[in-house]
Each structure stands twice: as C-alpha cells, then as structure tokens.
Amino acid sequence: MPESTTIDVADDELTDVVADSEAAATPVRPAGLAWREWPSRLSIPQVIVALAVITWTWYFTKRSLDIHHALGTSSYDSGLYDQGIYLMSRFDAPFVTMMGRNLMGDHTSFVLLFLVPLYWIVPAAGTMFFTQSAVIAAGAIPVFLYGRRRLGSEWLALVGAATYLLHPAVGWANLENFHPDSFLGVFVGFAIYFALESKWRWYAVFVVLSLMVKEDASLVIVPLGLWVAMKRDRRIGLLTIFGSLAFMAVAMLLIMRSLIGVPTRNGWRIPFGGPRGVIDTAVTNPTDLVDHLRSDGRPWYIWQMTAPFAWLFARLPDVALISGLVLFTNVLSTFWYQYQIEYHYSLIAVPALAIGTIYAIGAIKDRDFQLPNGVGFSLPARGIAIAILAAVTMTTAYMWAPLPWARTELYYGDPDNDYAVTARELMEQIPPNASVAAHYRLTPHLAYRKEVYQFPTPFRLVLYGPDASLEGSRLGARAEGVEYIILPTSRDDRLVADWEAIEVAFDEVASNERWVLYVRDRSIPLPAGGTDIEP
C-alpha cells in the first residue's frame, strides 16, 4: 500500500494534512520509518523511556518468576501455555493435556509461534514471563512516539508513556499468570500510531500482528478500521474492517471448530441467551439491559479504566473510542473476570485510551487573555492538561496499581517457602518423559512432557476438553497410562474420593511433610469406576 502524501513546513508549525479542523494539527515528517528518523544522539526523555521499559521488564519478570517458583501459578493460565509452546518447539502438535484441547483450538494465538525459537535456546518459564513483561512494557513506546509528534515535546510525551505504564490494568495483566493478550499492548499501540501517522505499510504489519494474538482482537481492530475510514483513508479503513471480520470468521468457524468441534467455548458469557437475545432485550426491554450493565460493580470498572487519563480524552474522543467496543463487551459479559481491572481482558483497551488522551491534549491551545486594565497574559492550557494528567495518573496508580510504592497489598512470592522447596524435592524424582497427574500448583513445573494432567484428570475429568458433557468421565487409555501422581499430604475434600477410587493401583515412592509421590503398580489394574472414554 502506498505511503501517504506529506508536506514540509517549519518545525514549530508542522501540520497533519488530514487532521480534523477542530483539532490542533498533528505534526508529520516526510514519509519513512520513525526509527530511521531517530536522532543520532539520544535525548534525556528517550533515555528515560528506555530505562523505564527496561526497569519495568526486569521488575515484573522477577516478580512473575518469584510467584511461579513459589507455586503461585497454576495450570490455568500458566502451565497450559508453557506446555503448548514447549510441544511446538519439539515439532509436536500442541495438544495441551492440562486442558484437553489443542492450544490453537482454545484461542487462535498464532503469536505464540514467535516464542518457539526462544524455547529452542532456553525452554523455561522464564522465557515466557520475560517475553510477557517485555512486550507489555514496550507498549509505552508508541505512546511516546506519538506524544512527541502531537505535543511537540519529548518531555510532555514522557508523561504520556508513563500514563500507559502506570495504568493499573497494565501492571495487573503482567502478574496474572501468562496470556498471549500481553502482546496487544504494543501491537495495538503501534497500529494506532501508524494509523495516525498514515504510514500504511507498517500499519498493516501491526494490524496483522494484533489479529495473530487472538481471534477476538477484532474487537479493537474493527473500530480502528472504522476510525481510519472516517479520518484518514476510506479504502484502507474498509479493508481493515472486512479483513478483521474475515479473519475472525476463519479463526472461529474453520480453525477452532476443526480443532475442538465448536467455534468458541465462551458463548455462555453473552447474557440474555446470546447476541440475538441482547438485541431483543435492547429493543423490547432496554431497562433490563441497563440494569445488567449497572450491576455487580460494572460502572466501577469503567471508572477505574478511564480515571487514570483524567477523562482528558473527552476533548477529542474519537481515538479513545477505538477501545469502546472492548470496554462494552467486557461490561456486558457474564464472566466476572472480564470487568475486573486485575485481569488480562482490560489490557487491549489501554493503548487507545492512552494515545487518545495525547491526541485530545494536542487539540488544546494556549489561550491569551486581556484584563480590563490592559494587561494581557497567556494561559498555558496544554501544559496544565499534562500536569493534571501526571497528577491523576500517579494518584490512580497509587490507589489501584500493583506497584511497590502503591497502597495495594502485593504478593511477591517466596521461592524458598516450605511448600515449594519440598515439592521440588519430589518432582526431581519424576522421569522427564513420564505421564504425570499432579496438583494444579505443580503442573506448571511439570509442563515439559507430552502428558501432564491436573488431578483428578484423567481419572475423573474436570475442566477438560471442549465438551462439558464429558465432565466426570474417565479418560480411558490416558488414565491407564499415568505413571506418577504427586499430591499434597493434606487432601482437598473434593479429591479424597478420587484418590480412594484409584489408590490400590499406586504405591507411595517418596514423601515429606507436604507432598506425597506415587508410582503406578502395573501388576494391578485400575479399579472400575466412572465412564471410560477414548482420548
């Protein structure tokens, strides 16, 4: 696709030829890559942004790994990704036995293929958590790049980058196990940035990368395409919209359906019986829909998502509204996690809100006033807006973000706690390729094998496979193939019956005060029970 036509004007009066007449102009440069135009000598704000990204990556990688090694992660959603990526790195199909589905059938997260070469070098959870922290932190870069162009000052742009990094949803997304959604912070940010700059080749690259993260990334890419069609280039905008919808249809109706038998397992999250029910309710009984959207703290979620930007994006809201569909579907969902700021569903909305705030501040002009006595003065309105943004960002980060200086009580994780140390002692005795059923806190540490199950699966299926009707069944041959089981000495009451039903076929091979390791006695068949099904 061709680059847009630009013009050269004085540096202090650069004008975006396609910006709204209402907005203060967005400065542009001759067409070319932003990083090719980067000055040969780094400025102080650039150094600060780089250090902030590096520090953020280090801090959250360390915290994530400390939590992981302290047994703070679980099958969902850490171990399953680790096992899937590991299997792909060994050129095996990513059938994840922790959840009983192909990794790409659960979500079409093709972006995980980028981690496969890293697992050739360092196959470890640290690779996964480092990548997550790095790509989330890198989302500050497009905010800074656009800020320095829109606001004409790298120091002011620095505040925009900080607003992204300090947003509570960004920090929490970094600590919620692992999710491919973490890539959306940087991919969506750059897609919006290149759309604003009318650099269409790189815009296309980051739109495609965003869609590779997850099939429902279209919830932000379609609104972005609508904005492009209305504000920049109609043809490119329409291509974005229809291309995103086509990708989502292929991902769900072809790829996911072929792998798990259904286009999505999350249809139950839509209230009123599904999309048609939502529309019918909105038309025939809108008060029910309004009551739903007001229930269970949903307005508080919208407050937390938008308050860190001091609602400055309202001055010129069209860029910030690119996140509107995502926020609406989050509060519409019946799934509690989607409208809580502590979970990964919120990260995708932050880039548009952050860049949209900078876009709106760029429309603010300083005002000249004349007093009755003839004395005139200028009100630095843009500077005041940035100061308000900085103050509100720091306040909301202190109140809600998972940062060491904030008021939020943090869990750092102690890798040397008694439960973790004693668990590692026993896990070291399990052969590398053995089929294992384990407590859900241990499965992430046993992920590098073809078969690892979250007990009581495969003896009684729980949260396994695409078909909920299979819950409670026994997974035939896979149950017969389990060689080791490792469980806590203090049993969950819900699992006591599961263990009692099979313990005759397993012998204790090692134990300590916290954990017991069992090995299969092949001379004794598994007791009959449940409904055996084929894997």
Per-residue pLDDT 10s for the chain (535 aa) are: 444 433 333 333 333 433 443 343 444 444 444 445 555 578 999 999 999 999 999 999 999 999 999 999 999 989 999 999 999 999 999 999 999 999 999 899 999 999 999 999 999 999 999 999 999 999 999 999 999 999 999 999 999 999 999 999 999 999 999 999 999 999 999 999 999 999 999 999 999 999 999 999 999 999 999 999 999 999 999 999 999 999 999 999 999 999 988 888 888 899 999 999 999 999 999 999 999 999 999 999 999 999 999 999 999 999 999 999 999 999 999 999 999 999 999 999 999 999 999 999 999 987 765 566 666 556 688 989 999 999 999 999 999 999 999 998 888 889 999 999 999 999 999 999 999 999 999 999 999 999 999 999 999 999 898 877 788 899 888 999 999 999 999 988 888 999 998 999 999 999 999 999 999 999 998 987 767 776 5
Residue 39, pLDDT score: 55
Secondary structure class of 102 (helix, strand, coil): strand
Residue 282, pLDDT score: 94
**Is-contact 180 81, C-beta < 8 A?**
yes
Task: Residue 45: name the closest of 185, 153, 195 by CA.
Answer: 153
**Is-contact 164 143, C-beta < 8 A?**
yes
- Give the Cα separation of 492 and 273 in Å (integer): 35
- Give the Cα separation of 353 and 164 in Å (integer): 9
Residue 535, pLDDT score: 58
**Is-contact 132 178, C-beta < 8 A?**
yes
- Give the Cα separation of 371 and 190 in Å (integer): 45
Residue 112, pLDDT score: 97
Burial 475-499 (b: 16+ CB within 10 A, else e): beebbbebbbbbbbeeeeeebeebb
Residue 36, pLDDT score: 53
Half-sphere exposure at residue 348, Cβ-oriented, CA atoms within 13 angstroms: 29
Instruction: Report pTM.
Output: 0.89
Pairing status of strand 436-438 against strand 484-488: parallel
Residue 159, pLDDT score: 96
Angle in degrees, CA 258, 263, 264, rounded to 5: 130
Tokens coding 301: 């979620």
Report CA Rg, the chain: 26
Residue 465, pLDDT score: 86
Read off the amino acid at residue 179: H
Share of the chain above pLDDT 70, in %: 90
Tokens coding 340: 């809580």
Residue 268, pLDDT score: 85
Residue 16, pLDDT score: 41
Crossing angle for the helix pair 140-151 and 350-361, to the nearest 10 degrees:
10
- Give the Cα separation of 286 and 303 in Å (integer): 22
- Give the Cα separation of 178 and 204 in Å (integer): 26
Residue 531, pLDDT score: 75
Secondary structure class of 296 (helix, strand, coil): coil
**Is-contact 55 62, C-beta < 8 A?**
no
- Give the Cα separation of 199 and 32 in Å (integer): 8
Tokens coding 191: 């897609």
Strand partners, 510: 517
